[in-house]
Amino acid sequence: MLQKNSAFAGVPGPVVVIVMDGYGIPKHAVGSAIEAARKPTLDRLFARYPNITLRAHGTAVGMPSDDDMGNSEVGHNAIGAGQVYAQGAALVANAIAEGTIWQGQAWQEVVAAAKTGALHFIGLFSDGNVHSHIDHLKAMVVQAKAEGVKTVRIHALLDGRDVPETSALDYVVPFEAFLGEISTDGFDARIASGGGRQYITMDRYDANWPMVARGWRTHVLGEGPQFANATAAVEGLRASHPGTIDQDLPEFVIAEFDENGNGKPIGTIEDGDAVVLYNFRGDRAIEITRAFVEDDFSEFDRVRHPRVTYAGMLQYDGDLQLPSRFLVPPPAIRDTSGEWFSKTGLAQFACSETQKFGHVTYFWNGNRSSRFDGETWQEVPSDVVPFEQRPWMKAAEITDAMIAALQSGQYKVLRCNYANGDMVGHTGNFRAATMAIEAVDLALGRLLKAVDKAGGVALVTADHGNADEMFELDKKTREPAVNKDGSYKAKTAHTLNPVPLILYDNVSGGRLGLKQSETAGLSNIAATVANLLGLQKHDKWDDSLLEVK
């Protein structure tokens, strides 16, 4: 149990943490959908309530370096756990640098299987460091050759979401050149299939299984439009789908063609092969992993279920042991706020729409898919549409659910995530992102009234930036980059900007404030919530930011 805090007895009502996903503090007005949005509620909060900025990227959230942007996994882990752990990106990079990954049983089993079958790598083909890093893939290909594997096939998911929106060839061209160079002495490594990450394979939270089914047919069965190599595939698909950005490009299959032009896929996945999913982040890795490892599987018709030696880069879900074979142990996130509020007997409520539901539950609780005692989770089903067409998403419905939970009087600690700034920010559509922020602002206005009625307080914050920078920045000047024709280049990825922390408090009579410091970050939120509840923080949590006058 968390101990009582003698400095402050706690607010009378509940404490609500509101995560505005993808809402950073913009550096430039140009390109900021947040600056452009009409947002009277947020303007009032910033003007009248205690507010500070929090670090939400780089080492402050367990990324390898401060050049790494934040993301929802590491952000929600930090908020929920109140601690910073070295995250997947860092753990894998270290395991490769130190060679421990090659000594692990999982890698050895993969290599043993691949001596008779082929070794397949499936993953996000990018250096975004959010789900994967292409350098990890490269290191594994080199090591596989050194250990005597003969055939490597890569199933490349084009990114354009954690990296510039039409950058696929910046990765594919040099990588195919590297594969050509290393394919000597009987070693044969090639890209075998792929497609846009938002079109195949990388669905999350059961939002869109047909996406995963398309990925399965592409990677495993080798079904799809055929090309001679991945460079030709990207060029060909771009030509046949003008205006489609990388993340949305359709699937492709690499084939060898006979003299009649009939193509045979070079990398279908067969019994006896080994498959490594080289993404380290779990949310978008779980569904395709289930399709490979579950005997009894009914999410879609697999047509053929090859018996393979399957490994994840990490274990994506410790509760479900998914998958049981993994190359690098995941961060051991313990003593989260969810766990300790539960042990203290506080009822907790968590809500978001499907696209971010696992963020406020699974990531929040340290990548655990099961609930702690006294936790209620409510999911609002997301639309399955391109979100620039519905920038309001489910902000209204999430708000309804939160208001009902507050009115029930049942919960002492509540949390929700508004997906809009992030999900619409990722489309690169400036106008839609502006509306996304306006939708959140409208929702906040309603929710905060219910917080007042319940005698509670709210912490309004975000997990990382996105809608705050909708144009790519010039690499040198860090100013929005201007194209030759004077236009800007749309940006789909997260940002390095800090995020706000606002204390919405109408109950303490002005006794409460927030401490700004150089190091204040997302991991300080859990202790702040504890203090607002009149409790001391857990020893392992980073310090509270609450100031009591």
**Interface contacts to ligand 3PG, rule CB under 6 A:** 71-73, 130-131, 161-162, 284, 422, 426
**Nearest distance in Å: CB 533, ligand 3PG:** 28
- Binding test (CB under 5 A) with Co ion, winner from 159, 162, 379, 422: 422
Least Å from the CB of residue 170 to Co ion:
21
The CA distance from 184 to 181, in Å, is: 7
d(CA 284, CA 104): 24
The CB-nearest residue to Co ion is 422
Rounded (10°) CA dihedral 119, 122, 124, 125:
40
Q: Name 488's bridge partners.
A: 482
* Binds 76: which of ligand 3PG, Co ion, none (CB < 5-8 Å by kind): none
User: Which span (96-104, 148-156, 258-266, 419-427) binds Co ion, by CB under 5 A?
Assistant: 419-427
State the minimum distance, in angstroms, from the CB of residue 159 to ligand 3PG.
8
In whole angstroms, how far apart are CA 273 and each of 85, 268, 305, 322? Answer: 34, 10, 12, 19
Residue 203 binds which one of Co ion, ligand 3PG, none, with CB within 5 to 8 A depending on kind? none
In the complex, the smallest distance separating the C-beta of residue 338 from ligand 3PG, rounded to whole angstroms, is: 19
Closer residue to Co ion, CB minimum distance, 107 or 418:
418
Between 133 and 284, whose beta carbon lies closer to ligand 3PG?
A: 284
Q: Report which residue's Cβ sits closest to ligand 3PG.
A: 72
Q: Are strands 151-158 and 188-196 parallel, antiparallel or unpaired?
A: parallel
Element holding 418 (H helix, E strand): strand 413-418
Which of Co ion, ligand 3PG, none interacts with 120 (beta carbon under 5 to 8 A by kind)? none
Work out how close the CB of 161 gets to ligand 3PG at its nearest, in angstroms, rounded to a whole number: 5
The candidate with the shortest Cα–Cα distance to 5, out of 496, 537, 543, is 537
For residue 75, which phi and psi values (nearest 5 degrees)? Answer: -65, -50
| Paired strand residues for 263 | 257
Q: Which is nearer to Co ion, 190 or 390 (CB)?
A: 390
Hunting for tokens 């949310």 — which residue is that?
283
Rounded to a whole number of angstroms, the minimum distance from the CB of residue 535 to ligand 3PG is 30
283 touching Co ion, by CB under 5 A: no
Given 32, 65, 72, 487, the catalytic residue: 72
User: Of ligand 3PG, Co ion, none, which one sits near residue 134, judging by CB under 5 to 8 A according to partner kind?
Assistant: none
Pair of tokens at residue 546:
């609450």
Measured from the CB atom, the residue of 249 and 512 that comes closer to ligand 3PG is 249
Q: Which is nearer to Co ion, 287 or 422 (CB)?
A: 422
> 403 in helix, strand or coil?
helix
Cβ distance to ligand 3PG smaller for residue 27 or 131: 131
Nearest to ligand 3PG of 61, 444 (CB atom): 61
Window contacting Co ion (CB under 5 A); options: 106-114, 177-185, 229-237, 416-424: 416-424
3-state secondary structure of 156: strand
| Beta carbons of 544 and 523 less than 8 angstroms apart | no
Contact 449, 465 (CB under 8 A): no
Interior CA angle at 73 toward 35 and 425, to 5°? 30
Is-catalytic flag, 72? yes
Q: Which tokens is 306 given? A: 């090859």
What distance lies between CA 500 and its chain's CA centroid? 20
Q: Which does 130 bind (CB under 5 to 8 A by kind): Co ion, ligand 3PG, none?
A: ligand 3PG
List beta partners, residue 348. Answer: 375, 413
Q: Which does 162 bind (CB under 5 to 8 A by kind): ligand 3PG, Co ion, none?
A: ligand 3PG
Q: Compute the chain's Rg from CA coordinates.
A: 24
Q: By the criterion CB under 5 A, which residues form the site for Co ion?
A: 422
Could you list the active site residues? 72
